[in-house]
Amino acid sequence: MSDNVFHVFSAVLRKDLRRELRSREIFISSFLFSVILLVIIFYASKTSGVQLEAMSSGALWLCILFSGTIGLNRSHQSETANGCYRALILAPVEGGWLYLAKVCSNALLLIVMELLLLPLLVLFYHTDISKNLGMLVTSLALGTIAFTAVGNLVVVITANTRMKDVLFPVVQLPLMVPTLIAAVNATELALQGKTPSNWLQVLVAVNVVFLSAGFLLYDFLLEE
Amino acid sequence: MESSSNHMFYLVAAYTLVWIMVSAYVLILSKRNQELKDQVKDFETRLRKQGVSIED
Amino acid sequence: MSLKDKLLFALMFVVMQLALVWALAIAPPDKLQGDVQRIFYFHLGSIWPGFLAFFYVLYGSIRYLVSRDLIWDRKSLVSGEIGLVFCSIVLTTGPVWAKPTWGVYWAWDARLTSTLVLWLVFFFYVNLRNYIDDESKRPRVSAVLGIVGALMVPFVYMSTRIFETQHPKPVIMGDADSGIRDPNMNIALYLSLAAFTLLYIYLWRLGVQQMLTKDRLKKLRGRLLRLEGF
């Protein structure tokens, strides 16, 4: 049993990462989208007189949220387009492990993108990211995992509907609000050099609850 | 602080809104009920056409 | 309508009248806000069954996934609909109360935001099934969304408690100085809580009975079609 779990888990993870390494379609499109968003956010809020540094945490999380949504949608579409889901259902383990593998691969790709966005944040928004780098990375990682944990569930839920391309972001974004509040504030405090323990606790709790909920519920969603 | 008669308007408005919301749901329920009744009526005529007696 | 439903309606009606009398006449006006504070009784009275409805969605959805009995799908769907109604009451009476006290209809206060989020999540729970063509999938997918949505509710609340807020502190679980002193104010609050909870139960029973009747008629339709030789 545990052998099977490990095999399937690593196979799904490897497959997703390898596909991404070969085509880079999700990565390049969501990264470029984030860069454009950073520019747009700057011009959209320029007139309000907000300080650039004060905006950086919110701007960064908007990029993660929007490009992450695009990425999740794309990664799920490529599964259904090639009939991968049918094959995934046949895998000799519980659906929950597939879910965890999908969360892992999506979160990894997003975190790599965030690490590339940080220098851009320094460049565009004059952000000083060195004050508490450890906490910054922790906040980003926890927030990203929470985002993909919920997103991977919602993308399969809305995949059953007629207007899945529209409904996925629309259903997902309200569910992301607590994660977003906690992640933005945690990142903000980390950028100021503080330790955002309250917000990190919220993020850890979101992760624990939704990763276990997803683990248990994924089987119900894969059923034909 | 505005004058209290002005405040009275907000109080009345809020309590009206409560009942508008509840009545809206009751209206939805009764609309669905009407659909069900129409369906029953339709079934009855179709059953009669089949020669099935529906009086108990 | 069964005798139980009639009794429930009578009880709900009496308690609702008492709640109105206490909230509008007997409870003294607030020292700072005056009469407009009376909105509070029905405002808070409807958020409580709203929360209750959404926790029932969680419970009913789990029961459905475990038992695959359609009755649990219907029960949680109706609960979600009524929760949406109560949530709408909170969302509309809130701004009307906020205008004379805060000076604006809407403040980006965390608790306002979280009620809006709650409303959106359960709006999608109730309506998503209309976009699912495969009828056998409808209850299953909705149940998963119901569970995910309901699990998010405590986090919405948590993130609002940490967030700085200009909203009045929660009266029941809040601090000692959070507003209510006169015993008649307490009575008015508890009466409207009871009235709205009874209203919730009553409407829920009606809605569930209606859903079940609809299902039975659908089954009968199938048999009728066979009788007509299709």
Q: What is the CATH number of the domain that holds C144?
A: 1.20.120
CA distance C168 to chain B (A): 18
The token duo for C137 is: 């999938």
Amino acid at B40: V
ipTM for the whole complex? 0.88
The token duo for C10 is: 């009578």
Count of the separate structural domains present in chain C = 1
Contacts of C152 in chain A (CB under 8 A): 150, 175, 178
Q: How many CB atoms lie within 10 A of CB C65?
A: 20
Q: Is C144 on the interface with A (CB under 8 A)?
A: yes
Q: Which residue in chain A is spatially nearest to C123 when comparing CA positions?
A: A171
C100 and B29 in contact by Cβ < 8 A?
no
Q: Pick from C121, C134, C163: which is nearest to A174 by CB? A: C121
List per-residue pLDDT tens for chain C, 230 residues long: 688 889 999 999 999 999 888 888 888 877 677 777 888 888 888 888 988 998 999 999 999 999 999 999 999 999 999 999 999 999 998 888 888 888 888 877 767 887 888 899 889 999 999 999 888 889 999 999 999 999 988 887 777 667 654 455 554 434 444 455 678 888 888 999 999 999 999 999 999 999 999 999 999 988 888 888 76
Tell me which of C55 and A224 has the higher pLDDT.
C55
Domain that holds residue C194: 3-167+184-219
Distance of CA C219 to the CA centre of its chain: 31
C93 in a structural domain: yes
Provide the number of CB pairs (under 8 Å) joining chain A to chain C: 84
Q: Which residue in chain C is spatially nearest to B35 when comparing CA positions?
A: C214
Q: Which residue in chain B is spatially nearest to C221 when comparing CA positions?
A: B43
C224 in a structural domain: no
What's this model's pTM, rounded to 2 decimal places? 0.87
HEC secondary structure over chain B: CCCHHHHHHHHHHHHHHHHHHHHHHHHHHHHHHHHHHHHHHHHHHHHHHCCCCCCC
Helix segments in chain A, DSSP class H: 2-23, 25-45, 52-81, 84-90, 95-125, 133-159, 164-191, 197-222
Contacts of C149 in chain A (CB under 8 A): 175
Q: Is A157 on the interface with C (CB under 8 A)?
A: yes
C44 in a structural domain: yes
C62 in a structural domain: yes
Subunits adjacent to chain B (3 or more Cβ pairs under 8 Å): C
Which helix or strand (DSSP H or E) is residue C24 part of? Answer: none
